[in-house]
Structure 1
Amino acid sequence: MDEKTAQNAMQIILHAGDARVHCMNALKAIENSSFEKAKEEIKLANGEIVKAHHIQTNAISAETQGEAGTYSVLFAHAQDTLMTIYSEINIAKRMIKIFEVYEARLAKLEKAEMEDKYE
């Protein structure tokens, strides 16, 4: 494996790892019903995953344009890491929406219960 491929792989892993940290922070925020914080963390996660994806895309584009490319276990691992974390981010985004709806329904039920109690 050449040095450029190794550097690209490590940059992908670095950015994807940072994205995972933000994604996990978003999930912790969801646990605490801090949906705005969760959305901020997902935005940061997206920024990191986009950086990783650009590195991957540039590497693939270079190879399709004739630059010599060799198989690299490290680069394959980087791509796997990128796609796994990308999936985690998509699930976390959906969870934010699900729990926001859940919280709104709960608040509505609690409000109705309180109104019934005082009538």
Structure 2
Amino acid sequence: MDYEQIILAIIAHAGNARSLSFEALQLAKEGNLQGAYQKMNEAKAELLNAHNVQSDILHKEAAGEKYEISLLLIHAQDHLMAATLAKDLIEEFIELYENAFKNKKSTE
């Protein structure tokens, strides 16, 4: 994979993870917690893929292979950070929805 392909792979995997996380949030909001957790697992897999690609270039750079710091690389890192933050926050929201649905059922 060349440098641009690496960067685009990070962007693609991070974007997929972010989208899947928001799909999970919508499912949780609708009460489909099983579907929400499945989407979150898919999001985590996409983030792992993005991190693996990122780790590959980090290891290569640590071994002496230098990469140009480009606006595209910064953009990729921004996508990865935003997707990770979205995943973390949405996991918390799903847990809140789950607790709210449990509490609602117990009061009915």
Fold match (TM-score > 0.5): yes
- Which aligned segments of 4 or more residues in structure 1 are displaced greater than 4 angstroms? none
| Largest Rg, 1 or 2 | 1
Q: Are the aligned partners of 1:27 and 1:92 in contact in 2 as well (CA < 8 Å)?
A: yes
In the alignment, structure 1 residue 32 sits paired with structure 2 residue 26: no
Match of 1:114 in 2: none
Q: Distance in 1 between matches of 2:97 and 2:3?
A: 41
Task: Name the TM-score, length of structure 1 as normaliser.
Answer: 0.86
Q: Distance in 1 between matches of 2:94 and 2:29?
A: 10
Task: Name the TM-score, length of structure 2 as normaliser.
Answer: 0.94
In the alignment, structure 1 residue 67 sits paired with structure 2 residue 70: no
Alignment length, in residue pairs? 108
What RMSD over aligned residues (CA atoms) do the two structures have, in Å? 1.2
Q: Are the aligned partners of 1:5 and 1:75 in contact in 2 as well (CA < 8 Å)?
A: no
How many percent identity over aligned positions? 28
Q: What displacement does 1:37 show? A: 0.3
Q: What displacement does 1:97 show? A: 1.0
Q: How does 1:52-63 map to 2 (within 5 A)?
A: 52-63=50-61
SS at structure 2 position matched to 1:71:
coil
Q: Are the aligned partners of 1:12 and 1:82 in contact in 2 as well (CA < 8 Å)?
A: yes
Q: Are the aligned partners of 2:18 and 2:83 in contact in 1 as well (CA < 8 Å)?
A: yes
Match of 2:83 in 1: 85
The structure with higher relative contact order (CA 8 Å, sep 6+) is 2
Q: Name stretches of at least 5 consecutive residues in structure 2 with no aligned partner.
A: none
Q: Distance in 2 between matches of 1:102 and 1:28?
A: 15
Q: Name stretches of at least 5 consecutive residues in structure 1 with no aligned partner.
A: 111-119
Q: Distance in 2 between matches of 1:57 and 1:73?
A: 19
Q: Are the aligned partners of 1:9 and 1:75 in contact in 2 as well (CA < 8 Å)?
A: yes
Q: Distance in 2 between matches of 1:28 and 1:80?
A: 24
